[in-house]
Amino acid sequence: MALMALSCAREPFAVEESSSSESKAVNTFCAEAEGQFLVRVSDPDAIPESLNAERLFPSVKGKESIEKKYGLDQWFAVSVPEGMDINQLTEVLESESSIISYEFPDLLVRPYTKDNFKIAPSPSLSRIEPTTMNDPLFRNQWFLYNSGDKDLFGSTNVEGTDVNIRDAWTLTAGDPSVVVAVVDEGVKTTHPDLAANMWTNAKEIPGNGIDDDNNGYIDDVHGYNFAAKGAISWGLPGDEGHGTHVAGLVAAVNNNGIGVSSVAGGSGKGDGVRIMSCQIFSGSTRNDNVSVARAIKYAADNGASVLQCSFGLGTYYSDKAFAESLSAVKAAYDYFRDPANANCSAVDGNIVVISAGNSHNSKAEYPGAYRDYICVSAISQDNLPAWYTNYGDGVNIASPGGDNTLGLTMLSTVVSESDSAHSDYGFMHGTSMATPVVSGIAALGLSYAKKIGRHFSRDEFEAILLSSVNSLEPGLTGSKKTPSGTMDLARFKGKMGTGVIDAWKVLMNIEGVPFVTVKTGESVSVDLSEWFGSDASYLTMTGVEISDAAKSTLGITDNPTVSSGKLTIKCTKAGSAKITIGAIAGGNTAGSDSVMGGKTFSRTVSIVSRPNAGKSNGWL
């Protein structure tokens, strides 16, 4: 979905190189640049008055040092002066000794989605499986919980093709102090399934036309419209409801008896994570890197811990080319991630999650492809790569994104004003939809880490996200039908990132509980040595404790057993649960008042049952 039409060729930015030491770094994307462009100066006080410049990044009191660390104080947004063409302006820029570099803004910035908008089915209280949430449309959200229903989700639907959120909700459903910034179209702040989970700037008085908190933005109560420089909007001509759909996947209000469920929308007790709307698309308003850069810094300065980016800035040849061509945007991302700007007490630094793109290319698009960010590809309900997804170089992890060739796609909140049937719910698909699922799980992980008092570095937390996955590899054989024919699945082997993200595994890794993935429907023998020492076969095991709820979740009819250092277990349903295994350290008998013997101890482990379980147990 292209939201902006350009008058010049859509080619990657390039950085001019010259042997002259006087030449400035400049992107040469379009010779007919319109709107604002960016200028970086060596001395912020030396910006020429003739350029009518304004600071790109409003400064925040107390953050001056971190702003200077990334040179944010050196960037200015400048409009082409009246009566001057772009060539004349370039001559002025080249002649000013204080100007280090300049960037033209004529940049295609688009949300990644496919045009598959439908009206959600009428709400129904019938359920596929019991859940702690009473949202009537949960049954249509296969990516949250998938029982394998082929009537509802198509003949190729595979049980367990979901993010395993239902079991994760038994541990946490969110935390209102965790904020996800949705950098996208404006989020409908009044949506009945989103309003209660919108981030609110308590220092701003709504609608008074005054910048009450003196942060450079007027009436930024739930965020800000950086494209139109004003209030958040969502129903203008050209709006698609994309940002609202994304926000609903992250944190639509759970358990409120209406609409849909979401990854981190809470349990109905006001405990969902919060959504901050950082709007960079607004109807037919021009979109460029000026809006993107400002939105990212705003998110860092106003409490966001996760930056949700379902958009792309183009295809570049390397990380270096991206960083040099869009250095202001890159500086804003660096500022957001810096530990000094950490907005959640559980992690040193904030998390950036970005779409891989929908071009079916063997490499991700930037900025997602950049090495510092988590880049998300998409799978569909057949537990295979979606036909449109980018894959390969730059892709870090996979997540459900839907596939319109297979039936229902990703159901979430939408904007009734942009839909002739006036629905608040609808379907879309794309890496745009896969990405907020990962962002929501990242927010859920932060919520749980806070709850249990765990603390991580940013790198440690990102490692948890990337290693808490289920394998796609066993299914990547043969071919899959696409709208234009078939695609060779072997092409995707080892190229969908680490695997499909699993919310339960994320929480287990945060908790520090080891887990093993077993294949649903098979009796599996698991070596316990990794849990109990170098050779568990020499230990005397005292048995397995498993609750009735865990048995129900995993579909266990015969109690698991332990013998000769191995656990034997058969799960007939996809799911996750903890079990406790007891052992004796030292001898065959536990010590007591009357008998000399060993010390009893136990390990709690998690069993994750999946139909397409790979060889990896998912150890962190």
Q: Which residue did the predictor score with more confidence, 429 or 615?
A: 429
Are residues 378 and 361 in contact, defined by beta-carbon separation less than 8 angstroms?
no
What's the average model confidence in pLDDT over 57-63? 94
Tokens of 44: 């912020």
Q: In sequence order, which ranges of 266-375 are alpha helices (DSSP H)?
A: 289-301, 319-325, 327-337
Please tell me whether residue 496 adopts helix, strand or coil conformation: strand
Q: Which residue did the predictor score with more confidence, 286 or 225?
A: 225
Please tell me whether residue 620 adopts helix, strand or coil conformation: coil
pLDDT category, 10, cuts 50, 70, 90? Answer: very low
pLDDT value of position 24: 59
pLDDT category, 541, cuts 50, 70, 90? Answer: confident
Q: Is the pLDDT of residue 41 over 60?
A: yes
Whole-angstrom distance, CA of residue 599 vs CA of residue 593: 13
What's the average model confidence in pLDDT over 576-585? 89
User: Percent of the chain at pLDDT above 70?
Assistant: 88
Q: Is the pLDDT of residue 23 over 80?
A: no
The single-letter DSSP state of residue 332 is H
Condensed to tens digits (0 to 9), the pLDDT of residues 291-317 reads 999 999 999 999 999 999 999 887 888
pLDDT category, 395, cuts 50, 70, 90? Answer: very high
What's the average model confidence in pLDDT over 475-491? 91
What's the average model confidence in pLDDT over 391-398? 94
Find, among 307, 111, 295, 286, the residue nearest to 220 by Cα. 295
pLDDT value of position 117: 47
pLDDT value of position 510: 95
The single-letter DSSP state of residue 325 is H
Q: What beta strand segments (E) does 401-552 contain?
A: 410-413, 425-429, 456-457, 469-470, 479-482, 485-488, 500-501, 515-519, 523-527, 540-545
Please tell me whether residue 292 adopts helix, strand or coil conformation: helix
pLDDT value of position 620: 38
Q: Is the pLDDT of residue 33 over 80?
A: no
The single-letter DSSP state of residue 272 is S
Alpha-carbon separation of residue 584 from 537, 565, 595 (angstroms): 12, 12, 14
Residue partners of 48: CB distance under 8 A and separation at least 6: 92, 96, 98
Residue whose pair of structure tokens reads 């050209």 in the numeric block:
238
